Chain A
């Protein structure tokens, strides 16, 4: 079942078109990475899903209910972490979580239980002072705690890792993939390593629409450009000569020589790989390293936003 669906969503601010026919859906219990350059419209899209902005066209549904601008009922399914979360500085984290819990109608006992659990999860269990003295990273952690408090069915995080130290980033990503059992996560980022670590689906936003969307493993497969990188124990001149010979083979599109390393592009690794190995053996080339290259997410991304 799709927990979130966007159909032909458009948004423009005056003459500036930010989103232009955005269509995608997120199935339950997945971690959806929303990738895009700075200013691509990720935050705008998220605010539309939360009913904080008025869409210029299209429909958005959360858990089967349509989102309307302003007071939207669908927000009761949602937990949201803004990119720069702002809290009431005169409260302590526990008081803030109590307010959040009371607002959503949780019982006092449940609020205490969940607050203690979540503050420990985000590493703020000892922070009993008021929020105005918190660093950005600490606010970000509190933001995650408040977003998860009422066990939302859809968790929306706007660049959750941007203000965190490396340890914090790792922890937050761990939290996001751990809550997948109970909830669906949509998070935006431009840090591709984060996406590779936790996402099972991605959408790349560029020019106001998704230029790439689907399961990460599948996308990587379909974008696989089979290539083999070989390192030789030979002089550079010998390597260059071998590269020249490789280039003349019918199943090799292209080969590049860089020092003692040669990268060869094949149509299909499965079919042509054996012939390549046979050729290398025939040439008595001293192979140090032989590596089939994985398509990196970075290449996928760069291709998608071209």
Chain B
């Protein structure tokens, strides 16, 4: 337990001093502010363009459009940023050899995995919360009738998907040697999940739907209950990845 506390402190210091803890919330804050603004300005942008006689009529934007922009940004750029920032958290340390002096002092390897997961998950949680809170505030300011259904649940779904990715990054880092091994394997993992969505039967359970159906949840076209299989499977998969990464890392050659 002392080792866990010490290593969490180290991870937090690392996040601060490598600017990870500033960069990630800042980028997500930007997403949160940009999305409602982009939705609001969309008609003006189109009317300002010289389309050589073609007129495009854009319906008056609503709060739904603002959230559509937000989730588009978060599920695409947001996930990419998350991957880039955290993909090296374990594989980078293994490649550099910085864990050797610490582990040869008797720190358990499980502790390393758990501490890294704790801090990365905390940063992801804070970043997502900052993003959604700023988007919510700005949307309420820009649009009338800004209330939407199930916003929190929709954000929770995305959060859970991120939590699975972070656990998978740790597993990939323990499995593959080299600094970029974790990144490539995790990208492949997302690719496989996206491919699996081609089969209608898999869609209901597929974790990636947690980062795909956010707008349908808000618009009310997908019921909260319909998401439950994917939520449960993702939760189980995240726990499994974490347990597996500990088991693999115990026998990783450093």
Interface residues of chain A, those whose CB is within 8 Å of chain B, are: 50, 52-54, 69-71, 73, 75-76, 78-80, 82, 84-88, 90-91, 95, 99-100, 102-105, 143, 146-147, 150
Contacts and interface: CB of A to CB of B under 8 A. Distances in A.
Contacts of A53: 253
Interface string B130-165: 000000000000000000000000000000000000
Contacts of A105: 2-3
A76 B98 contact: no
A70 B251 contact: yes
Contacts of A99: 6-7, 9-10, 102
B85 to A, nearest CB: 16
Interface string B86-127: 000000000011101111111111100000000000000000
B10 to A, nearest CB: 5
A50 B7 CA distance: 20
A86 B102 CA distance: 10
Contact of A50 (B102, B104, B251, B252): B104
A95 B104 contact: no
A75 B2 CA distance: 17
Which bucket holds chain B's interface residue count?
20 to 34
Contacts of A146: 101
Interface stretch (B11-19, B40-48, B62-70): B11-19
B254 A103 contact: no
Contacts of B102: 99-100, 103
A103 B13 contact: no
A82 B254 CA distance: 12
Given A52-B253, A53-B253, A90-B17, A104 B101 contact: no
Contacts, number: 82
Interface in B1-51: 2-3, 5-7, 9-10, 13-14, 17-18
24 contacts: A50-B104, A52-B104, A53-B253, A54-B251, A54-B253, A70-B109, A70-B251, A71-B250, A76-B105, A79-B104, A80-B100, A82-B97, A84-B97, A86-B100, A87-B98, A88-B14, A90-B18, A91-B13, A99-B7, A102-B9, A103-B3, A103-B102, A103-B107, A105-B3
Given A70-B251, A99-B6, A105-B2, A86 B104 contact: no
Given A90-B17, A102-B5, 6 more contacts: A71-B108, A80-B101, A82-B100, A85-B101, A99-B6, A102-B2
Nearest to B252: A70
Contact of B106 (A90, A104, A147): A104
A54 B253 CA distance: 8
A265 B103 CA distance: 53
Given A91-B13, A99-B10, A75 B100 contact: no
Contacts of B3: 102-103, 105
Contacts of A147: 101
A70 B103 CA distance: 10
Given A87-B98, A105-B3, A75 B253 contact: no
A76 B5 CA distance: 18
A105 B10 CA distance: 15
B96 to A, nearest CB: 5
Identify the interface centre among A76, A87, A103, A105: most chain B CB within 10 Å of its CB: A103
Contacts of B6: 99, 102-103
Contacts of B97: 82, 84, 86
Nearest to B246: A71
Nearest to A90: B17
The 7 closest A-B pairs by CB, nearest first: A102-B6, A76-B106, A90-B17, A80-B104, A86-B97, A70-B250, A75-B106
A104 B3 CA distance: 7
Contacts of B107: 103-104
Nearest to B249: A70
Contact of B101 (A70, A76, A87, A95): A87
A76 B106 CA distance: 5
A70 B101 CA distance: 14
A103 B98 CA distance: 14
A75 B105 contact: yes
A52 B9 CA distance: 25
A196 B212 CA distance: 69
A37 B107 CA distance: 32
B100 A52 contact: yes
Contacts of B104: 50, 52, 75, 78-80
B103 A143 contact: no
Contacts of B98: 86-88
Given A90-B18, A99-B10, A105-B3, A69 B96 contact: no
A103 B115 CA distance: 12
A88 B89 CA distance: 13
A142 to B, nearest CB: 10
Nearest to B7: A103
A143 B97 CA distance: 13
Contacts of A84: 97
Contacts of A82: 97, 100-101
